[in-house]
């Protein structure tokens, strides 16, 4: 892209630069970072304000009426046109106008707003957006000297004159927008701004968190997103079950069981195990709402993911692939993953081991320091292996009933005993959560930074969850065994493999979900959030590091 040139009252755009929507000019005036994340990366989240705004615009966005060409617009004509789309290559702007009124040979755009004007009149972003519409109408030959802002909440109309000063200010803003649009990194977030709490992308931007991690002075990190997500996963593992749609609800039907319905609004993702059918109508409703469907084998291995088209965040994923291929940048992030994991393993041992083994605690602390200073990926992998062997060599001592784990240690494929089976299943649940969080953050879950590229393996999801394995999955296993929520009778042994029964899997999923919902005080930001929210935040912060927005990745480490 190349910035346009200012020529008198108009901006001449380079031909390869896409037309800037008037709505994006509004967003830029409100916050340049919001504009960049929304227009360049394609980020978008719905909230109550956007849904209410969509409802108000529903009528005027439907095209209606007809605006004659300017040369045919007679002074006696009174015309109203709705949903008019006009653009100008010379200005480099495009706008869909809610309403255009024509009277006495002049036209004026009317822009609908859901709220109220400010205490001193209309807000600048709204005025500039309206001026863009007026400039486009002028470019098409219409006589327009003013526009109207209609506020639905107060049912008031405010006339905005298109003065030379306003037009000059609008052109200045558009030029600055174009300079920001060609940046390789987003603009910095606003600092302690009242604009942030109502912003639709506050959970994507994380303004206070990014400001703190960038080293800028900030008195307090505000928790601007809910501590817990209102939406939760839906698990369907009954063989022969079907998932359908009825209106705005998912309907789960299983042989011999009562039908269950859940609002689509309350679903974060759908996980199906084995032979579960999902109707085309349900699939379409889910992907249209960016709700992924994760398909697992009956035993819990992830085999497929159904999502909508990956049209958003393309520049971010391009940079992700560059980082993955860059030895120095990838090693710095990989070290953070491993350091976080080893430090959290040490915390779990310190909290749960009945005798507080000082030798193991010292060894894990030493290995965390070694990981921080690792010079290449191979040595980092070796350090992680040493830490895991030391950690799992004493893991059975934290269990009331090791159920054969002490003899075998940590064995993955196939798990030979109940504890290994529990660990493997909980890790699969955790990786599934990591994959969902990465998809929400716009990253490719399959191109890892620490875990090497392997066909069909979600390597970046494995990277992201490293620091959460002890805090979530291992903790769930200790809770299940030590509180006798699972017994040896809950497992089936076939040859060298041990697996959970269907009923035991349900109990494990309930325990896992309870752990993900636990509130924990964030060690860096100071507020309380659930583990599920922390995992999503870490995925967002990883995206900010990859995009060059943050200098380093900081793992989530509890004290």
pLDDT tens for 82-124 read 999 999 999 999 999 999 999 888 999 999 998 889 888 899 9
User: Does the pLDDT value for residue 383 go beyond 90?
Assistant: yes
What domains are defined for the chain?
Answer: 5-187 (3.90.320.10), 232-306 (3.100.10.20), 314-546 (1.20.120.920)
Cα angle: 470, vertex 377, 412; to 5 degrees: 40
How would DSSP label each residue in 14-43? PTTSPPEEHHHHHHHHH-HHHHIIIIIS--
β pairing state of 232-236 and 267-273: parallel
Question: Residue 12: which pLDDT band, with cuts at 50, 70 and 90?
Answer: very low
Q: What is the pLDDT of residue 287?
A: 93
Contact 520, 559 (CB under 8 A): no
Tell me how crowded residue 381 is: count the other CB atoms within 10 A of its CB.
Answer: 15
Q: What is the mean pLDDT of the chain?
A: 90
Contact 94, 86 (CB under 8 A): yes
pTM for the structure as a whole: 0.88
Q: What is the pLDDT of residue 85?
A: 93
Q: What is the pLDDT of residue 2?
A: 34
Mean pLDDT for 48-70 is 61
User: Does the pLDDT value for residue 3 go beyond 60?
Assistant: no
Distance CA 58, CA 52 (A): 10
SS3 assignment for 78-133: EEEEEEEEEEECCCCEEEEEEEEEEECCEEEEEEEECCCCECCECCHHHHHHHHHH
Distance CA 34, CA 44 (A): 10
Percent of the chain residues past pLDDT 70, beyond the cut = 93
The DSSP element (H or E) to which 272 belongs, if any, is strand 267-273
User: Does the pLDDT value for residue 13 go beyond 60?
Assistant: no
Angstrom distances, CA of residue 517 to CA of 304, 358, 511, 530: 25, 31, 10, 5
Q: How many helices (H) and strands (E) does the chain have?
A: 18, 20
User: Does the pLDDT value for residue 264 go beyond 80?
Assistant: yes
Question: Residue 356: which pLDDT band, with cuts at 50, 70 and 90?
Answer: confident
Distance CA 57, CA 64 (A): 13
Question: Residue 479: which pLDDT band, with cuts at 50, 70 and 90?
Answer: very high
User: Does the pLDDT value for residue 260 go beyond 70?
Assistant: yes
Q: What is the pLDDT of residue 217?
A: 83
- Work out whether the CA dihedral 532, 534, 539, 544 comes out positive or negative: positive
Question: Residue 54: which pLDDT band, with cuts at 50, 70 and 90?
Answer: low
Q: Strand (E) positions, 367-523?
A: 491-494, 497-500, 519-521
Tokens read off for 157: 């109309």
List, for residues 312-339, the tens digit of each pLDDT value: 888 899 999 999 999 999 999 999 999 9
User: Does the pLDDT value for residue 8 go beyond 50?
Assistant: no
β pairing state of 232-236 and 277-278: unpaired
Question: Residue 246: which pLDDT band, with cuts at 50, 70 and 90?
Answer: very high
Contact 481, 366 (CB under 8 A): no
Q: What is the pLDDT of residue 405?
A: 83
Of 206 and 405, the one with more pLDDT: 206
Distance CA 416, CA 428 (A): 17
Burial of residue 276, with CB atoms counted within 10 A of its CB: 0-12 exposed, 13-18 middle, 19 or more buried:
buried
Nearest Cα to 124, choosing from 199, 193, 31? Answer: 31
């Amino acid at each position: 892209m190349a910035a346009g040139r200012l020529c008198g009252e108009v901006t001449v755009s380079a031909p390869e630069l896409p037309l800037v929507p008037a709505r994006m000019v509004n967003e830029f005036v409100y916050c340049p970072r919001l504009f960049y994340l929304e227009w360049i990366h394609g980020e978008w989240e719905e909230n109550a304000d956007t849904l209410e705004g969509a409802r108000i615009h529903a009528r005027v966005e439907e095209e209606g009426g007809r605006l004659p060409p300017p040369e045919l617009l007679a002074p006696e004509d009174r015309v109203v046109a709705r949903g008019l789309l006009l653009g100008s290559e010379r200005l480099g702007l495009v706008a869909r106008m809610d309403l255009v009124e024509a009277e006495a040979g002049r036209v004026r755009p009317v822009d609908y707003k859901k709220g109220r004007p400010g205490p001193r009149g209309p807000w600048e972003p709204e005025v500039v957006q309206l001026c863009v519409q007026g400039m486009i109408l002028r470019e098409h030959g219409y006589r327009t000297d003013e526009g109207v802002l209609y506020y639905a909440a107060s049912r008031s109309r405010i006339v905005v004159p298109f003065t030379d000063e306003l037009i000059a200010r609008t052109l200045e803003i558009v030029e600055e927008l174009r300079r920001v649009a060609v940046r390789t990194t987003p603009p910095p977030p606003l600092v302690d701004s009242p604009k942030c709490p109502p912003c639709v992308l506050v959970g994507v931007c994380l303004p206070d968190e990014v400001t703190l991690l960038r080293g800028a002075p900030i008195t307090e990190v505000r928790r601007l997103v809910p501590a817990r997500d209102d939406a939760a996963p839906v698990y369907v593992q009954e063989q022969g079950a079907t998932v359908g749609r009825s209106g705005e609800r998912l309907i789960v039907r299983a042989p011999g069981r009562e039908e269950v319905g859940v609002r689509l609004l309350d679903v974060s993702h759908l996980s199906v195990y084995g032979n579960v059918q999902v109707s085309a109508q349900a699939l379409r409703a889910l992907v249209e709402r960016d709700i992924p469907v994760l398909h697992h084998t009956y035993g819990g291995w992830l085999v497929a993911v159904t999502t909508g088209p990956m049209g958003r965040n393309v520049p971010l994923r391009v940079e992700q692939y560059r980082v993955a291929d860059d030895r120095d940048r990838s090693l710095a992030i990989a070290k953070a993953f491993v350091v976080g994991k080893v430090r959290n393993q040490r915390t779990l041992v310190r909290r749960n081991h009945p005798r507080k083994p000082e030798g193991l605690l010292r060894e894990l602390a030493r290995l965390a320091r070694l990981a921080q200073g690792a010079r290449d990926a191979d040595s980092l992998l070796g350090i992680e292996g040493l830490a895991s062997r030391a950690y799992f060599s004493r893991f059975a001592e934290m269990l009331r009933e090791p159920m054969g784990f002490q003899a075998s240690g940590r064995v993955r494929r196939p798990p030979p005993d109940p504890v290994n089976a529990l660990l493997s299943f909980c890790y699969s649940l955790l990786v599934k959560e990591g994959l969902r969080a990465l998809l929400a953050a716009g990253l490719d879950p399959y191109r890892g930074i620490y875990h090497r590229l392997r066909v069909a393996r979600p390597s970046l999801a494995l990277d992201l969850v490293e620091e959460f394995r002890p805090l979530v999955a291992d903790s769930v296993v200790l809770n299940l065994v030590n509180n006798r929520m699972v017994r040896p009778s809950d497992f089936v042994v076939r040859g060298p493999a041990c697996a959970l029964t269907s009923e035991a899997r349900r109990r494990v999923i309930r325990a896992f979900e309870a752990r993900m919902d636990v509130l924990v005080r964030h060690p860096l930001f100071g507020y309380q959030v659930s583990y599920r929210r922390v995992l999503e935040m870490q995925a967002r912060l990883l995206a900010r590091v990859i995009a060059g927005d943050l200098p380093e990745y900081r793992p989530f480490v509890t004290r």
